[in-house]
Amino acid sequence: MFTIDSNMAYEALNMFVFLAAELTVLFLLISYLVGVLQEYVPPAKIQSILSGKNGRGYIIAGFLGAITPFCSCSTIPFLKGLLRAKAGFGTMMVFLFASPLLNPIIIGLFAVTFGLQVTVFYFAVAMGVSVIAGYSLEKLGFEKYVKEEAYIAPEPKGCGSGAI
């Protein structure tokens, strides 16, 4: 039978506190970075880069997901920025699927553990599945399930916003 002693409980609590603090800081930093990018990169530029014409936007979104070293909890603020920039729905879904699957750390571990051939195969399959899933969700009309307020940027508040 499995028993939990005080040392195991202490270690579990310690790990929980560490991960909660680490992920909170990561979430806040990514949210800040997205805000800065939204300030300096106009939505029209993001729309033109990630437009779904000829499938180019889907591939770009997949590679953008592949180069972002984020876990899925920090991918959400980035995705919210893409929503507010009104990037194509299918390309946003490709980014959402590819980001955790093609994380640079995972690809590095695959290469070290399984070799280059298996890593390239994994990358191609994960990218292909991400693109097919994003394209399919767009064609099936799943964009209607996104809440309208997800597309709206919050009103600026604070000292430097000019708000009264």
Q: What is the pLDDT of residue 124?
A: 97
Give the predicted TM-score (pTM) of the model.
0.72
Domain residue spans in the chain? 7-152
At 32, list the tokens: 């800040």
Q: What pLDDT, in 10s, does the model give residues 15-68?
A: 999 988 988 887 788 778 877 877 887 877 877 777 766 788 899 999 988 887
Percent of the chain predicted with pLDDT > 70: 87
| Residue/partner pairs of 127-132 with CB below 8 Å, 24 or more apart | 127/59, 127/62, 127/66, 127/98, 127/102, 129/97, 129/101, 130/62, 130/65, 130/94, 130/97, 130/98, 130/101, 130/102, 131/55, 131/58, 131/59, 131/62, 131/94
